[in-house]
Amino acid sequence: MNTSARYDAQETEAKWQRVWAERRTFEASEDPGRRKYYVLEMFPYPSGRIHMGHVRNYTLGDVVARYKRAKGFSVLHPMGWDAFGLPAENAARDQGVHPAAWTYDNIANMRDELKAMGLSLDWSRELATCHPGYYEQQQKLFLDMYEADLVYQRESWVNWDPVDHTVLANEQVIEGRGWRSGALVEKRELSQWFFRITAFADDLLEALEALDRWPPQVRTMQRNWIGRSEGLTMSFEIVGRDDGLDVYTTRHDTIFGASFMALSADHPLASEAADRDPGAAEFVAECRRMGTSEEAIETAEKKGYDTGLRVRHPFVEGRELPVYIANFVLMEYGTGAIFGCPAHDQRDLDFARQYGLPVLPVVVPEDADAARFRVGDEAYLDVRNVVLANSRFLDGLSVDAAKEAVAERLESAGRGKRTVNYRLRDWGASRQRYWGCPIPMIHCGDCGIVPVPEEDLPVLLPEDVTFDKPGNPLDDHMAWRRVDCPACGKPSLRETDTLDTFVDSSWYFARFCSPRADAPVDETAIRYWMPVDQYIGGIEHAILHLLYSRFFMRAMGRCGHLEFDEPFSGLFTQGMVCHETYRDGDGNWRYPEEVTRDPSGRPVLAESGLPVEIGRSESMSKSKKNVVDPSSIIGRYGADTARWFMLSDSPPERDLEWTDAGVSGAWRFVQRLWRLVQELSVHAGEAGAGRPPAVPEGPDGELRRAAHRTVAAVGDDIEAFRFNKAVARIHEFVNVLGSWTPPGRAERSDEAAAVLREALEAVVQLIGPMTPHVAEELWRRLGHETLLADTPWPTADPELIEEESVTIGIQVSGKLRGTIEVARDSDEALVREAALAHANVRRNIGDRTVRKVIVVPNRIVNVVL
């Protein structure tokens, strides 16, 4: 055996990847006799190359998948492609390649890169959302949901880029301009398709409680996003008119502090005012022009326009409140109108100060003098330890009691209604794009909207499109658009909007259970595999993707496709991969591989020797060039090294700092393990020869205990996603093996050899999920004919895990003064005795009286003076 040669990662990794593929080792099967485990990492967008975030994500998932396999589970661990989306169209426009060709090329390349990582994936289930086999089923789901009234079309305001002829998402609008064209974005009302996610708002909120294997912060973020609030919808009489003005409020206790009403610019009464008053019209137009970017909103001053309308205060005879159009009121929330109570709402206060409106405090601290209490520049928002004041029948009540009283009176007068409101809006899923799932709908002049009959599915994307004009190529493709109405036969037009790519990713995990089925999901398969036991991905999807997926399972359930609500019973959100940033003298970002050190250790550009400034470490991004290409790392060190480094230092939920030193450390570890196991294997017994003695004495016993303790600890750590600690435990054990010395001729025994073999096999098995190739190779070299990938996880003998003796610290008045070694679970009196006998402890006690001795078994002794 050649033990001195270095481990050749390239050759060995390729070999075992081939073997696993040939033997279909990781293809999942529905085995009713075994417990199932579904591990899934968020599928990638096929951008063309994998990045370090992928490497981390898929390494974490693969550790879990391989570990669970070894633990005897029937594991499903599939991979696919989130393949629709704008970049393909941009590539088409800029490079003249068809989006499909570009996408499938990228997929082919990324598949090769992922395969080089040695992931235990079931590639037979691979799917791409841009494949007609996938989106046909999605179109079926869309039609089912339309049937179930979970999909509808309505007019809605969108950000319209007049140059690119496209709708922009809020995050694509930067300072009021299109992110690509730079054109001033307009608000336009377009007909859009929506998913009725709000139908499940309460359920989506309440069910979060039961998701106890989700990170708490993700649940909180979803809770905030859904934003349930309990309030009152109340109607104000408009002076001189028959109709009323409805507002929604959660602070009806402050009704006596109301000093104005405010309408959204999109409110019907605002439009009405604009029709008769050019000033109002100008103000409404100004509001619409106002950018939707965060910055614009944040810096915008509170502005309003008096419509001239007045409403009556519901409880104060003769008090009338002016009705303004205000730039800070949202049409989409509540009724699009509010009453303003400046004393107890910051926005209302800012507004009131601007327009000289009264500020009357009606909620004051319990111990305050209501007559003297004043509100300055900050609204008084406390709701605890406060009482109502200046509020007639509410005076002296708590906030809650006052709300109750107001609601009671208005409800019985028919002028109010307790209402639950949500921040969550229905999901606008229309995109005016080509490279997405066609919405299977037809617009008929006579019949209106007609669904495409199921037998006519899929509605395929036409291939002969061009991208030389801005806008959606489908709009111009009349041959594709023209179709006879399925209901009346009259010439009609297809819907040209395609679906938001979040739709594609809202059910792909269900499709993986039966990826080629002729229905969206196969009942038997989905019953066996779903829900996903462990989902792993970035925190950036904490809200939308996960919320949409949760909605989709409910919607699919209502359409009879499945019988569960929650898609992911366990969720893990990994941290990002970071790297230092570099700038040259001209302030340009530089790639890490362009930077080297000069003889004095200063960072310089490799090509010119000019100095480089090192910036803070940030999440790897192309724009800052602080990226390291995974393929070049894997090509140089091998996948095992990259994987080991990904797992070794940082806890997986935290950000990981990518460093060259860390990678070479991981590489050295792989090499060391390789040498060590082979060198020691010469002294180990034959594979499957004898069992080691139960609890051997001396060094053999120590080795055996260390092995079993490590097995137990690593298993626990993997279960708890503490991969960095698992790595540390393996390091410790390898250090133990490293200091193992071959016995002299006299001490050699079959039993000792068996102990060593057990230890070597344990370490190889423990690294199996993390560095699978070197582990598989060592397993073979240890004499096994079967694959490590098919070998059950080792079990730890509880008797061997317990330490025989423990070192306990001795404190005098809480300060450590020494340690003693005693037998485990020693008698307390004995420990106390030994502690008090310790020389340094006696010295520290001196001639003072021992008042008390606290003995914590196997832990510590504290001598209290």
Q: Restricting to residues 814-833, name those near RNA by CB under 7 A.
A: 814-819
CB of 11 vs RNA, minimal distance in Å:
19
| CA 789 – CA 119 distance, rounded (Å) | 11
Task: Indicate which single residue of 183, 281, 543, 822 sits in contact with RNA (rule: CB under 7 A).
Answer: 543
Asked if residue 101 binds RNA (CB under 7 A), the reply is: no
| CA 435 – CA 471 distance, rounded (Å) | 12
Binders in 417-446 for RNA, by CB under 7 A: 421, 423
Alpha-carbon distance values, 788 to 24, 135, 282, 456 (Å)? 14, 38, 74, 49
Q: Which residue type occupies 430? A: S
Asked if residue 597 binds RNA (CB under 7 A), the reply is: no
What b/e readout covers 181-204, taking b as 16+ CB neighbours within 10 angstroms? Answer: beeebebeeeebbbbbbbbbbeeb
Nearer to RNA, 610 or 854 (CB): 854
Asked if residue 731 binds RNA (CB under 7 A), the reply is: yes
Alpha-carbon distance values, 443 to 365, 463, 700 (Å)? 61, 22, 80
The angle at the Cα of 367, spanning 363 to 368, to the nearest 5 degrees, equals: 55
What b/e readout covers 43-68, taking b as 16+ CB neighbours within 10 angstroms? Answer: bbbbbeebbbbbbbbbbbbbbbbbbb
CB of 574 vs RNA, minimal distance in Å:
13
Asked if residue 854 binds RNA (CB under 7 A), the reply is: yes
Binders in 209-228 for RNA, by CB under 7 A: 216-217, 220-221, 224-225, 227
Asked if residue 862 binds RNA (CB under 7 A), the reply is: yes
Task: Indicate which single residue of 138, 166, 650, 710 sits in contact with RNA (rule: CB under 7 A).
Answer: 650
Residue 570 per-residue DSSP state: B
CB of 525 vs RNA, minimal distance in Å:
35
Binders in 148-167 for RNA, by CB under 7 A: none
Burial group, residue 103, by CB count within 10 angstroms (0-12, 13-18, 19+): buried
Q: What pairs with residue 442 in β-bridges?
A: 450, 494
The angle at the Cα of 579, spanning 576 to 584, to the nearest 5 degrees, equals: 145
Residues 333-352 as x/- pattern, contact with RNA by CB under 7 A = xx-x-x------x-x-----
Nearer to RNA, 493 or 860 (CB): 860
Asked if residue 329 binds RNA (CB under 7 A), the reply is: yes
Pairing of strands 577-583, 589-590: antiparallel
The pair of three-digit structure tokens given for residue 58, joined into one six-digit string: 């898929």
CB of 632 vs RNA, minimal distance in Å:
19
Asked if residue 196 binds RNA (CB under 7 A), the reply is: no
Asked if residue 249 binds RNA (CB under 7 A), the reply is: yes
> What is the crossing angle of helices 52-70 and 630-637, to 10°?
60
> What is the crossing angle of helices 639-648 and 723-738, to 10°?
110
Nearer to RNA, 263 or 452 (CB): 263
Nearer to RNA, 289 or 654 (CB): 654
Task: Indicate which single residue of 669, 721, 740, 779 sits in contact with RNA (rule: CB under 7 A).
Answer: 669
CB of 615 vs RNA, minimal distance in Å:
12
Three-class SS state of 130? coil
Nearer to RNA, 109 or 671 (CB): 671
* Of 369-377, 446-454, 654-662, 829-837: span binding RNA (CB under 7 A): 654-662
Nearer to RNA, 27 or 702 (CB): 702
Asked if residue 844 binds RNA (CB under 7 A), the reply is: yes
Asked if residue 374 binds RNA (CB under 7 A), the reply is: no
Task: Indicate which single residue of 193, 324, 328, 637 sits in contact with RNA (rule: CB under 7 A).
Answer: 328
Binders in 793-812 for RNA, by CB under 7 A: 806-809, 811
Count of residues that interact with RNA, criterion CB under 7 A: 85
Three-class SS state of 669? helix
CB of 696 vs RNA, minimal distance in Å:
23
CB of 380 vs RNA, minimal distance in Å:
13
Nearer to RNA, 694 or 864 (CB): 864
Alpha-carbon distance values, 732 to 325, 442, 723, 801 (Å)? 70, 66, 14, 15
The pair of three-digit structure tokens given for residue 826, joined into one six-digit string: 């020693």
Binders in 471-530 for RNA, by CB under 7 A: none
| Torsion on CA atoms 544, 39, 647, 506, rounded to nearest 10 | -20
Q: For the chain, how long is the longest CA-to-CA vector?
A: 112
Asked if residue 404 binds RNA (CB under 7 A), the reply is: no
Phi, psi of 572 (to 5 degrees): -130, 130
CB of 290 vs RNA, minimal distance in Å:
8
Asked if residue 60 binds RNA (CB under 7 A), the reply is: no
Nearer to RNA, 251 or 590 (CB): 251
Residues 257-276 as x/- pattern, contact with RNA by CB under 7 A = -------x------------
Nearer to RNA, 218 or 437 (CB): 218
Alpha-carbon distance values, 661 to 583, 667, 812, 832 (Å)? 21, 10, 43, 48
Q: Which residue is listed with tokens 């109502």? A: 388
Asked if residue 732 binds RNA (CB under 7 A), the reply is: yes
Asked if residue 309 binds RNA (CB under 7 A), the reply is: no
The angle at the Cα of 391, spanning 389 to 394, to the nearest 5 degrees, equals: 90
CB of 813 vs RNA, minimal distance in Å:
6
Asked if residue 293 binds RNA (CB under 7 A), the reply is: no
Nearer to RNA, 277 or 618 (CB): 618
Q: Is 386 within 8 Å of 398 (Cβ atoms)? A: yes
CB of 163 vs RNA, minimal distance in Å:
26
Nearer to RNA, 84 or 328 (CB): 328
